[in-house]
Chains A and B, each alone.
Chain A
Amino acid sequence: MSGIRKYLGLILAIVVVLAMAAWPVINGKDITREVVFTMLLSVGLASSLNILLGYTGYVSFGHVVFFGLGGYVGFYLMAVHDWSLWTAMIAGGLASAALAFLLGKAILRLRGGYFALATIGVNEAVRAFINNFDPFGGPVGMSLNFQVYKNYGGGAREALWMSFYILVALTLLITVVTYMVRSSKFGLGLLAIREDEDAAEVMGVIAPNAKTWAYVLSAVFPGILGVLFFFKNGNIEPAPAFRLQMSIEMIVMVMLGGQGTVLGPILGGAGYQRLRGFLLTNPLFKNIQLAVAGVLLLVIVLFVPAGVVGWVRQRFPKLRRVLQ
């Protein structure tokens, strides 16, 4: 009993992800699959960012760079060298991790606003590089032949369903990883850095290393997700791969759900995308959906800085065991 109670936070998070995943499987509708795909993609991205933003307290405004770079590397291997999706995903994740490792050594020495600015610069720099890098198609980008989808279950429909199941598995994996980080000694170190980096170092946390590994960990999954997204999308170009707005949305999702919690980014990502999807197809809000998202961020920062999960945890201390 106590064993289960210890993991209640993780179980709840997994149940939420599985419930979302079950929705299209039960009703069998392609449109539900697409809606949930967008939601889970955001959940995955937000949860990854949460390791850096929520646990470590470092705001990365250019986190989309890992999504874009991973996507590019994986797409290149699939489109030009006929790699399978599986190996391409691994390669995409590793490429993002490698970039994060190198960057971490350099820019994680910066704190606060300086770090945030540097991450924007990194995103722009990588985009400019890809724009002039001929093997990746330069400004023209790359496309996947439709026949490729036949290798994954017989047709595009099967390939799209398969992408969905892969995404579900990845989201679950990310959830478990963020939970494990949070409850590990490494995670405690990160939380200490968030509260007071200097004090943490005095207490024996080797901050530069811990921050770098947190950065790497928060970059691996966006890289893998990038490969999966652009595989499904069928083509890749520099502008959509390194869209700064997507970075900002990721931050909104983490803050909406509750930074530093496992469940927060899951609820934040799913809730934000569901809301956006609703606003986008709703005739009343179609034209002001970006403004609504902006107001939402403002409201959260002003009134519920801890996000939904954080707020509930503050108000109902009894739930803290469950809501992690």
Chain B
Amino acid sequence: MKRSITLLLVLLLAMGALLTACGGSADTPAEEPAPAADTSADTSADTTAEEPAAAEPAAEEVTLTIGFTASQTGKQNVSSTRQVNGLNLWMKDVNDAGGLVLSDGTVVKFTAVTYDDESNTDRVQELYTRIATEDNADFLISPYSSGLTAAAAVIAEQYGKVMITTGAASDSAYKQGYTQVYQAYTPASRYLTGAVDLLASLDPDAKKVAFVYENSKFSTSVVEAAKAYAEEQGYDVVLFEGYDPETTDFGPFINKIEDAAPDAILGGGHFQDGSTFARQINEKNIDVKFFTLLVAPPEPDFADLGDAALGVIGPSQWEPLAAFTPDSAKEAGLDWYGPLGDEFVSRYEAAYDGEEPSYHSAGGYAAGLILEKAILDADSVDPEAVHAVLENMDLLLFFGHIKFDTSPEAHGLQIGHSMVYIQWQDDGSGNLAKQVVWPMEGATADTLYPKP
């Protein structure tokens, strides 16, 4: 009896000790991020070069913290890494150039704080709370993918932190009453609407369109919006069919397409299914004038399909070829800001061992540029002033046109940027080459129409 009471006492003491340890570590998490933040700044190619600052002793220097999570592990790893590379390059460019100088002489520099979100939502809110409250990030950048961004947006809104989203195309996150979230990407609802516009500009007589798409979150939301838009424009949707992501035989779908005899086919999903679909359409000699697929065509590997790739059109958030320049900005009546596309590509390749930037990389860089321009225009680092500038932002970057919806229903939704449409064409020597065919202000070639 006595013994067990003694044992109990010992146990309670042990528990007490454990809890004290826990209590002690209550403060530790506050400190934990610091090394992580430092490391990320160190590893990200000397993002925070401090030397130029030392050369300008007159100005007061402010270092703003940009917080975000990256998918360092998990299925979003590749795209997320490219996005973060783009963002880090922007930060390095700004800091190397001596920071942003405001009218009162204040020099603004940037540092990053980041954690691994493992490509899943379990800890996104925990990590963003940490970034917002413990690391005191001044501005936030979204994780990669719409699902993670939706979870992070709740936290951004709660703490009133401006968050620029990139790599998050879904519309729904901007229709939930948020006021602090701004989207850099063209939303899913307009991913394919440009293709409909392109078709209209090419051939007013083409009226029958078919949608054949992958049954996944992204593709479904894209084609549902494109279908509604096409119907609005007076098109007759003769086929609307989803296929399973693992589909390898498109025979049944192609038979339906033959029966419906559309002028245009739109759809696809990701690389594997999209390229298989394109090849089988070619093998069966389907006579279609206009063929647009999601995701697959902008990939360089798509050219391996040979004849099957010729004439296929695909939407991309950004392409190295896209000729957005100060001149095209002038034509469109917009302000131009930031580096040219070529400059971005060469800097990126120099910074990351010759890796060609994808649109994810460009999106990361553009998110930084949007923030940079907003701080400069606000002439302040005050989040509210920056927020006010973002509300009225309307400019052209190498990434494209940036303008946000400010209505309460869809606040922060990107309404300026539009997709760039590429088409695989014959470069004259028998090889396939990607050309930008839409929008007009960024086009590098005329559209090959009808598709050969």
Residues of chain A having any CB pair with chain B under 8 Å: 5, 8, 12, 15-16, 19-20, 23, 26-27, 29-35, 37-38, 131-132, 138-141, 143-147, 149, 155-157, 160, 232-235, 237-240, 243, 246, 277-278, 280-283, 286-287, 289-290, 316, 318-319, 321-322
Contact = CB atoms under 8 A, between A and B. Distances in A.
Given A237-B217, A283-B36, A143 B172 contact: yes
Interface string B267-304: 00000000000000000000000000000000000000
A322 B178 CA distance: 50
Nearest to A267: B18
Contact of B220 (A140, A149, A286, A321): A140
B123 A280 contact: yes
Given A23-B26, A38-B122, A143-B173, A235 B151 contact: yes
How would you classify the secondary structure of chain B's contact residues: helix, strand, loop or mixed?
Answer: helix
B120 interface: yes
21 contacts: A8-B8, A23-B23, A32-B29, A34-B129, A38-B122, A140-B170, A140-B221, A143-B150, A143-B173, A145-B177, A146-B176, A149-B154, A156-B154, A234-B150, A237-B217, A277-B126, A278-B32, A281-B29, A281-B32, A282-B35, A286-B72
A96 to B, nearest CB: 19
B7 A281 contact: no
B442 interface: no
A321 B4 contact: yes
Interface string B185-197: 0000000000000
Contact of A234 (B126, B130, B153, B221): B153
Nearest to A279: B116
A264 B393 CA distance: 55
A155 B179 CA distance: 14
A282 B36 contact: yes
Contacts of B215: 131-132, 138-139
A139 B188 CA distance: 14
Given A30-B133, A31-B30, A283 B39 contact: yes
**A8, A19, A34 pick with most chain B CB within 10 angstroms:** A34
A234 B22 contact: no
Contacts of B130: 31, 34, 281
A35 B175 CA distance: 28
A233 B221 contact: no
Given A139-B217, A146-B157, A234 B129 contact: no
**A38, A139, A157 pick with most chain B CB within 10 angstroms:** A139
A140 B8 CA distance: 53
Given A234-B176, A235-B172, A290 B216 contact: no
B255 interface: no
A70 to B, nearest CB: 16
Contacts of B126: 31, 34-35, 37-38, 277
Interface in B114-167: 115-116, 118, 120-123, 125-127, 129-130, 132-134, 147, 150-151, 153-154, 157-158
B419 to A, nearest CB: 19
B15 interface: yes
How would you classify the secondary structure of chain A's contact residues: helix, strand, loop or mixed?
Answer: helix
A319 B154 contact: no
B150 A31 contact: no
A241 to B, nearest CB: 9
Contacts of A33: 129
A290 B72 CA distance: 12
Contacts of B123: 38, 277, 280
Contacts of B15: 12, 15-16, 19
A19 B20 CA distance: 10
Given A38-B122, A234-B176, A31 B134 contact: yes
B320 interface: no
B125 A290 contact: no
Nearest to B123: A38
Q: On chain B, which size bracket covers the interface?
A: 35 or more
A269 to B, nearest CB: 13
Nearest to B23: A23
B172 A140 contact: yes
Nearest to A158: B158
B412 to A, nearest CB: 12
A16 B11 CA distance: 12
A227 to B, nearest CB: 15
A243 B72 contact: no
Nearest to A138: B220
Contact of B178 (A38, A146, A233, A237): A146
B115 A30 contact: no
Given A19-B19, A29-B133, A139 B173 contact: no
A159 B349 CA distance: 46
Contacts of B177: 145-147
A281 B32 CA distance: 7
Contacts of B29: 31-32, 35, 277, 281
Given A143-B175, A235-B172, 12 more contacts: A12-B11, A29-B133, A139-B216, A140-B170, A143-B172, A146-B178, A160-B158, A237-B147, A277-B123, A281-B29, A321-B4, A322-B4
A282 B33 CA distance: 8
A246 B121 CA distance: 11
Given A34-B125, A235-B147, A287-B72, A318 B4 contact: yes
Contacts of A37: 126
Nearest to B128: A34
A30 B125 CA distance: 11
